[in-house]
């Protein structure tokens, strides 16, 4: 099966793109969603995070305080590395399992930090970058996640530059205008991938 690695900076619209592709029939696996499932209550991954970072990251209901953990790792590179060492092997293992069972004309593997981690390049045939202006990234991320502008900029500083993402992409999905325009670009890419699937 043809595998497209979908990535982009924070607030660019990766999740929105994935939903549209899924609606068109593509198989979609999102590594962020996998990470979320792996770190739910009473999971081995959550136990490993507690062991590595302390019980103060657990909310009264036993779930992970994701906002607190996010702030911790984005302002502490060493903590970020420790968290990645716990989660990345587990996420990749689960992604491989889901890829083996995927059904569809082609597969979209959503990896927000595809370029930064470098651990999924061997699994994808092409890389699709969802792209928008940096000012749009900030405003969208603030609206979606309740982060401050400074927090969004700190996250962006931990990601490769927009120019470098575009340079390394095989395909670009612009998300700078209307929802209708965005959906039309997705449909064009979907047809392109169907054609590539026949050759693949």
pLDDT one-digit tens code per residue, 4-24: 999 998 888 999 999 999 999
Residue 16 to residue 20: CA distance in whole angstroms:
6
User: Domain locations in the chain?
Assistant: 3-199
Higher-pLDDT residue of 65, 70 = 65
* Predicted TM-score (pTM) of this structure: 0.89
Is CATH 3.40.50.300 the right assignment for the domain spanning 3-199? Answer: yes
- Going 103 to 105 to 111 to 112, the CA torsion angle's sign is negative
Predicted local confidence at residue 180, as pLDDT: 93
| Predicted pLDDT at 116 | 87
């Amino acid at each position: 099966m043809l595998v497209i690695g979908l990535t982009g900076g924070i607030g660019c619209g990766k999740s929105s793109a994935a939903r549209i592709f899924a609606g068109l029939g593509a198989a979609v696996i999102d590594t962020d969603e996998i990470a979320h499932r792996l770190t739910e209550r009473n999971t081995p991954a959550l136990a490993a995070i507690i062991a590595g970072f302390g019980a103060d990251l657990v909310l009264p209901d036993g779930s992970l305080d994701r906002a607190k953990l996010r702030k911790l790792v984005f302002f502490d590179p060493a903590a970020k590395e420790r968290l990645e060492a716990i989660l990345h092997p587990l996420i990749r293992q689960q992604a491989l399992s889901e890829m083996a069972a995927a059904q569809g004309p082609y597969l979209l593997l959503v990896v927000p930090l595809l370029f930064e981690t470098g651990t999924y390049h061997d699994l994808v045939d092409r890389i699709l970058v969802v792209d928008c202006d940096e000012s749009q990234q900030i405003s969208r991320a603030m609206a979606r996640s309740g982060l401050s502008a400074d927090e969004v900029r700190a996250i962006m500083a931990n990601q490769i530059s927009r120019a470098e993402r575009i340079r390394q992409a095989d395909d670009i999905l612009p998300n700078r205008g209307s929802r209708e325009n965005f959906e039309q670009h997705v449909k064009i890419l979907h047809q392109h991938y169907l054609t590539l699937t026949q050759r693949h």
